[in-house]
Chain A
């Protein structure tokens, strides 16, 4: 293969083009494209669309649960089915929706943002997508087995998840699914790390990468450190169940608590694996729609890295109530995470401060993210205090807390990403009016559903209950919560309509509809195979496209003299 060297034309530095060995530039279509295209954009879209379908499915499970809980007594489903519902809701949302959706964004955007032609291992990329889909389906197929799906909760505490208490194929399939999703996640993470470390274009130093790319580096490294732990824990549970080992069996000299340590060593970082990509998404959105550089870029990178690092040292804050953990260590480590998280919030505010904030749907979702995430964050600090956690853990307070982080935080991030990059993915803009309808229904429904759950938890409603008594007094707030859930469910409809409508008769978006700053907006929408046929702008900062468009308005370290001149 010969790399042709070209003299960079003025203004735009052309990327040296590579002769593609007999590669068809023609895009495949339909089933063949889905199954055989290794183009990172196709794999990314497959990831996101599949994950979104799983999101809708898990959302339906949640609606069923909220319907059941609207009233004391068993109306729609018995406790057995209810237990399957919350187990699969949690498992799908966490393992089959949020992090694969993030991997989809990574697949699509990371190569574009660092000016690469594809991921480092395109075929491994496609492989990990199909293993992911297979793993997700394996898990869900539990519903059609004789005993139903797994019903031991998404953290599958031993001994409840052993072969005596949870016999049946559904539980086995859940384990198979977890193992496959683990493998898929490890392959994806490896691919992202190698891509970012070896495929960056000229001038794209680590400290010129967009924050989103940084966050994916941190997330991928975390995945590489903790997913193997989960896979190992699941494998041991599998041998306990099928081959008669007794790792977790207290009656035969094992220790159930081992599972909790292993699971949460994965499980806590997993929460950050889920949410950090969306931190990255909103960072990009804040900057673009405020026409500002990312405020305190280096501090933000450092904060992300600290969150990632600290999150591996806090796993046992999920286990305070076991009476088996070193409380001060985990208490202080957990509270410390609040510091970099706070730094991030102020950086986001600083990005918008003095800006020219434009309330596109993506920006609105990002601002909504910030508003609900701060609630998720401060309740996290409350839960970090062992003295308070003894009361709050395993109650609806925790349910509310992590939905503020994941359903408010991460899912708002998902929609911010969808509205922001849709024009790049499909070449057409989503309708802004319907987008705002979607946002407000989502925002109101979300807060209605989950805010009251804080109070329910304080009052003493345990999580994962299929029912409650009339005497408990939990009914009114549960009704509110269920109404909120209905609104939340309905909020997806304007989005689906919007997507359909845009597909049928959306306006062409052009290459750079939002006045973007990063490289993905420097190519056509959607980008062709190979991404940058026209070459790339020179990379001299973390905003190469901005620098190209506004050469005299580069980011400044001190006060910006140009701004002062302009306003006077």
Chain B
């Protein structure tokens, strides 16, 4: 469906990429819902605060998309030129995620099971975290 008109609209509206508009719409919708709920629910503060928290999350994402994703995605909208950022480093194997998850899981279980699990868990976790970060730093 090569529709030059639609293409034109998207290009003209690049200030707010679709991604940003998406989160803006979520934020505005929840703001509306949260306000209606605030007025009618007679002080049911848990729901009110959760809904407003959702508004904040959505608007922060929208702001981030407006300022950052725009750059990364400019090429996608204009497929005739450029090719997007393809120079991302993508490792194909690493043993750090497994160890980091092992540390996380053992530590979390240690919270409930006991110190004998918690302490080794934390050690594995910290060791793996260091390895994970260093691997990323060295290669990125």
Contacts and interface: CB of A to CB of B under 8 A. Distances in A.
Direct contact of A and B (CB under 8 A): yes
A329 B41 contact: yes
A538 B83 CA distance: 12
A331 to B, nearest CB: 12
A187 to B, nearest CB: 10
Contacts of A120: 88
Contacts of A398: none
Contacts of A124: 97
B57 interface: yes
A329 B36 contact: yes
Interface residues of B, number: 64
A312 B30 contact: yes
Contact of B95 (A24, A36, A329, A554): A36
Interface in B125-140: 132, 135-136, 139
A1 B89 contact: yes
B10 to A, nearest CB: 6
Contacts of B44: 261, 324-326
Contact of B105 (A134, A172, A205, A224): A134
A130 B42 CA distance: 44
A130 B96 CA distance: 11
A77 interface: no
Contacts, number: 195
Interface residues on A, range: 35 or more
B112 A3 contact: no
Given A123-B135, A129-B97, A197-B19, 15 more contacts: A18-B86, A18-B87, A23-B90, A38-B94, A122-B92, A123-B132, A134-B108, A172-B112, A183-B104, A206-B18, A207-B18, A242-B111, A261-B46, A324-B44, A326-B37
Interface of A: 1, 3, 5, 15-16, 18, 20-21, 23-24, 28, 32, 35-39, 117-118, 120, 122-127, 129-131, 133-135, 137-138, 169, 172-173, 175-176, 179-180, 183, 197-207, 217, 221, 224-225, 229, 238, 242, 258, 261-262, 265, 305, 309, 312-313, 315-316, 324-326, 328-329, 333, 529, 538-542, 554-555
Interface of B: 1-2, 10, 18-19, 22-23, 25-26, 29-30, 33, 36-37, 40-42, 44, 46-47, 50-51, 54, 57-58, 65, 69, 72-73, 75-77, 79, 82-98, 100-102, 104-105, 108-109, 111-113, 132, 135-136, 139
